[in-house]
A and B are shown apart, each in its own frame.
Chain A
Amino acid sequence: MTRWAMVADLRRCVGCQTCTAACKQTNATPPGVQWRRVLDMEVGEYPEVKRAFVPVGCMHCDEPPCMHVCPSTATKKRADGIVTIDYDLCIGCAYCAVACPYQARYKSSDDTLRPDVATKCTFCVERIDAGLAQGLKPGVDPEATPVCVNSCIAQALHFGDVEDAQSNIRGLLAENQHFRMHEELGTGPRFYYLWDKAP
Chain B
Amino acid sequence: MKRVPTYCYQCVAGPDLLTVKVEDGVVREVEPNFAAAAVHPGGGKVCVKAYGLVQKTYHPDRVLQPMKRTNPKKGHDEDPGFVPISWDEALGLISQKLVGIRARGLLDESGYPRVAASFGGGGTPQFYMGSFPAFLAAWGPMDMGFGSGQGVKCYHSEHLYGELWHRGFTVSPDTPLTNYLISCGANVEASGGVVGVWRHADARARGMKRVQVEPHLSVTGACSAEWVPIKPKTDAAFLYALIHVLLHESPRERLDVEFLYKHTSSPYLVGTHGYYLREPASSAPIVGGALEAKETHVSLETGADGEVLAEGRLEGETAFAKLVAHMKPYTPEWAAEICDVPAARIRRIANEYLDAACVGQTIEIEGKTLPFRPVAVSLGKTVTNGWGGFECCWARTLLAALVGALETPGGILGTTVRLNRPMSERHKSVRADADGLMAYPFNPTDERHWSARPNIRNAYRSMVPLAADGPWSQALGPTHFSWMFLDATPPGLPRVTLPEVWFLYRTNPAISFWDTAKLEERMARFPFVVAFAFTRDETNHYADVLLPDATDLESLQLIRIGGSKYIEQFWDHEGFALRQPAIAPRGGARDFTDIATALAERTGLLEPYNAAINKGTLGVPLKDFALDVSRPHGVEEIWEAVCKAASRELTNGAEAHGLDWWKEHGLATRPFPRTAWYLFPTLAAKGLRFEMPYQERLLRIGTELGRRLHEHGMTWWDKQLAEYQALPAWKDFPGIWDSGEQYPFWLLTSRSMQYAWGGNVGMQLIKEVADNIAGHSGVIVNAGKARELGIHEGDWLEIATPQHSVRAKAVPRQGIRPDTLLLLGQFGHWQTPVAKDFGMPSMNSLVPMSLELTDATGSGADIVRVALRKAA
Q: Which residues of A contact B (CB under 8 A)?
A: 9, 11-12, 14-18, 20-22, 24-26, 31-32, 34, 37-40, 42, 44-47, 49-53, 142, 147, 150-156
Contact = CB atoms under 8 A, between A and B. Distances in A.
Q: Give 5 nearest A-B pairs by CB, closest first.
A: A51-B222, A21-B51, A17-B769, A154-B201, A12-B201
Interface stretch (B469-477, B644-652, B810-818): B810-818
Nearest to B769: A17
B814 A49 contact: yes
A21 B197 contact: no
B788 interface: no
Taking each of A15, A16, A24, A38, which has the highest tally of chain B beta carbons within 10 Å of its own beta carbon?
A16
B48 A51 contact: no
A14 B189 contact: yes
Contacts of A152: 45
Contacts of A17: 48, 754, 769-770, 772-773
23 contacts: A11-B204, A12-B201, A14-B189, A15-B772, A17-B770, A18-B46, A18-B47, A20-B769, A24-B765, A25-B765, A32-B768, A40-B773, A44-B814, A45-B784, A49-B815, A51-B221, A51-B815, A150-B32, A151-B32, A152-B45, A153-B46, A155-B198, A155-B201
Nearest to B223: A14
Contact of B43 (A46, A51, A147, A155): A155
B781 to A, nearest CB: 11
B439 interface: no
A12 B224 CA distance: 10
- Of residues B47, B219, B768, which shows the largest number of chain A Cβ atoms within 10 Å of its Cβ? B768
Contacts of B818: 46
Contact of B774 (A16, A40, A45): A40
A40 B780 CA distance: 14
Q: Which of A9, A12, A25, A32 has most B Cβ within 10 Å?
A: A25
B103 interface: no
Contact of B764 (A12, A25, A31, A34): A31
A21 B49 CA distance: 9
A24 B198 contact: no
Contact of A14 (B34, B45, B201, B202): B201
B820 to A, nearest CB: 11
Interface in B166-218: 189-190, 194, 197-198, 201-202, 204-205, 217
A40 B194 CA distance: 20
A24 B769 contact: yes
B48 A42 contact: no
Contacts of B279: none
Contacts of A150: 31-32, 34
A15 B222 contact: yes
A46 B816 CA distance: 7
B772 A38 contact: yes
B834 to A, nearest CB: 11
Contacts of B204: 11-12
Contacts of B91: none
B782 interface: yes
Given A153-B42, A153-B47, A12 B205 contact: yes
Contacts of B222: 14-15, 50-53
Interface string B553-583: 0000000000000000000000000000000
Contacts of B219: 14-15, 51, 53
Contacts of B45: 18, 151-153
B29 interface: yes
Contacts of A37: 769, 772
B125 interface: no
B773 A153 contact: no
Interface in B775-794: 782-784
B545 to A, nearest CB: 34
Contacts of B221: 51
B605 interface: no
Given A16-B753, A151-B51, 8 more contacts: A14-B201, A14-B223, A15-B773, A16-B189, A40-B772, A42-B813, A46-B814, A46-B816
Q: Which bucket holds chain B's interface residue count?
A: 35 or more
Interface string B386-409: 000000000000000000000000
Nearest to B784: A46
Interface in B444-468: none
B201 A16 contact: no
Contacts, number: 133
A88 to B, nearest CB: 24
A114 B202 CA distance: 39
Contacts of B198: 153-155
Contacts of B783: 45-46
Nearest to A176: B205
Interface of B: 29-32, 34, 42-43, 45-48, 51-52, 54, 189-190, 194, 197-198, 201-202, 204-205, 217, 219, 221-223, 227, 229, 753-754, 764-766, 768-770, 772-774, 782-784, 813-818
Contact of A42 (B34, B753, B815): B815
A152 B194 CA distance: 9
B48 A25 contact: no
B52 to A, nearest CB: 7
Interface centre among B29, B197, B202 (most CB of A within 10 A): B197
Nearest to B816: A46
B774 to A, nearest CB: 5
A183 B147 CA distance: 55
Contacts of A21: 48, 51-52, 765-766, 769
A22 B29 CA distance: 8
B201 A39 contact: no
Contacts of A9: 205
Given A49-B217, A154-B198, A155-B201, A18 B48 contact: yes
A151 B48 CA distance: 9
Nearest to A50: B222
A51 B769 contact: no
B788 to A, nearest CB: 12
Contacts of A50: 222
B375 to A, nearest CB: 21
Nearest to B818: A46
A11 B51 contact: no
Most-contacted residue by chain A among B32, B54, B204, B817 (CB, 10 A): B32
Contact of B814 (A32, A34, A45, A147): A45
A14 B229 CA distance: 20
Contacts of B773: 15, 17, 40
Contacts of A40: 772-774
A66 to B, nearest CB: 23
Nearest to A11: B204
B175 to A, nearest CB: 13
B197 A16 contact: yes
A98 B219 CA distance: 32
A97 to B, nearest CB: 19
Nearest to B53: A25
B784 A16 contact: no
A49 B813 CA distance: 10
B644 to A, nearest CB: 32
Nearest to A143: B34
A37 B770 CA distance: 10
Given A25-B54, A26-B29, A40-B774, A142 B34 contact: yes
A73 B314 CA distance: 96
A34 B753 CA distance: 19
Contacts of A12: 201, 204-205
Contacts of A22: 30, 51
Contacts of B770: 17
Nearest to B51: A21
A155 B194 CA distance: 11
B547 to A, nearest CB: 29
A26 B227 CA distance: 37
Contacts of B194: 153
A154 B192 CA distance: 12
A12 B782 CA distance: 26
Contacts of B42: 153
